[in-house]
Amino acid sequence: MKFGTILPHIGPLAAGPDALDSLLSVAQKTEALGFDSLWVGDHVVIPTSIKPRYPYNDTGEFPLPAEAALLEPLTVLGFLTGVTRRVRLGPSVLVLPHRNPIVTAKMFASLDVLSRGRIIFGAGIGWMEEEISLLGAPFKRRGALSDEYLRAMRELWTNPDPHFEGEFCRFSGIKCEPKPLQNPLPIWIGGHSARAMRRIVEFGDGWIAVPKSLAVFQDGMALLREAADRGGRDLNDIEIMIGLLRTTSVDEFIEAMKPYQDLGYDSFMVPLPFWGADLQSVLGLMDDFADKVGLQPV
C-alpha cells in the first residue's frame, strides 16, 4: 500500500508567524511515518464570487472562504525539497493555464534537481473560470492550451536544443538547463472526463483520481481503458492514486478505501490536514492513521 497526504499550506496553519513551523512539522512527520508522497494544491487567489460549480462535492460550493490563507504552491514545493529527503513531492494538481509554460518547465526542472529526483508533475486544466481568466488564459480554450503547454514543457525537459511552434507558445534558439534528474519527469494528470483520460494516455505516467463515488471512479476507469486501447498504451504502465477527499475522519477513510482495495488498487491520497483544527490535532491524526493502516516508520 502507498499513501500520500496533503500539506496544510492552505487554511489556518498557513498563516502567521507559526506557519513555517507548522508546515515543517507536518512535512517531516509525513516522511518519518512512512508516507510515500506529499502534495500541495494549486490556487493563486480565491475570487470573492465564483460562478462555476466546484466539481468535488455534492453542493458545488467551493469549500474555502476567499480570505483563507493560501501559500503559493511552487514556493512551498521549493521549501519541501530542503526539509525532506525521501518522500515524493508534487502538486495535486497544478492548474496549467495559471502559468507561463517556459517558466513552469524551468521551475520543475529545478525542483527535481534540488529534490534529487523526487518530483511528480501533477497537472490539470482547472475549473475556476474567474481565477484562470484573471491570470490571463482563455478559459474556454484551456484544454487545448494545457495540451500545448504539456508538449512544450516536455520539449524543454528532454531536448538539448528545444524548439516549439504552437498557437499559445513558441520558442527556438534557446537552451534550458539543467534538465530534470528523472528522465522522463513523471506527469500525473487529474480529471475524470473522456478528454482527461486521453490526456493521461498521451502525456501521463499516472492518474490522480478524486472520485465522488466508486461508481464515478469505475466510469473513469472505463474511459481510461478505452483511451489506452485507442492510444496503444498498456494500462499497467499508468499509476493510479485515489484521493478520497470527501472523507472526514481516519476511520471513515479506511472504510471508504476498502472497496477500491477489493478491486486491486493500492495507492491513496489521505486528506489528513482537513480533519484537524490545529497543528497538534493534525499530528495526532497522522499518528492514528499510520498506526491503523500499518505504515512503517522510516
List, in sequence order, every residue forming a beta bridge with 96; answer none if it has no partner: none
What is the Cα–Cα distance from 137 to 140, expressed in whole angstroms? Answer: 9
Assess whether pLDDT exceeds 90 at residue 257. Answer: yes
Per-residue pLDDT tens over the stretch 41-53: 999 999 999 999 9
| pLDDT for position 56 | 87
Angle at 206 between CA 260 and CA 29, to 5 degrees: 75
The pLDDT mean for the chain works out to 97
Domain ranges of the chain: 2-293
What is 2-293's CATH topology? Answer: TIM Barrel (3.20.20)
Give the residue from 209, 210, 191, 211 showing the smallest Cα distance to 150.
191
> What is residue 171's predicted lDDT score, i.e. its pLDDT?
98
| pLDDT interval class at 226 (50, 70, 90) | very high
Q: Across residues 228-235, what is the average pLDDT?
A: 96
Q: Which position has the grid cell 497543528?
A: 279
196 exposure class (CB count in 10 Å sphere: 0-12, 13-18, 19+)? buried
Mapping DSSP onto H, E and C, the string for 123-156 reads EECCCCHHHHHHCCCCHHHHHHHHHHHHHHHHHH
Helix axes 142-158, 194-203, angle to 10 degrees: 10
> Quick one: pLDDT band at residue 57, thresholds 50, 70, 90?
confident
Percent of the chain with pLDDT over 90: 98
**200-214: per-residue pLDDT in tens?**
999 999 999 999 999
- Label residue 199 by pLDDT band (50, 70, 90): very high
Q: How confident is the model at residue 254 (pLDDT cuts 50, 70, 90)?
A: very high
pLDDT in tens, 115-167: 999 999 999 999 999 999 999 999 999 999 999 999 999 999 999 999 999 99
197 in Cβ contact with 224 (< 8 Å): yes
Q: What is the pLDDT of residues 165-194, one digit of tens each?
A: 999 999 999 999 999 999 999 999 999 999
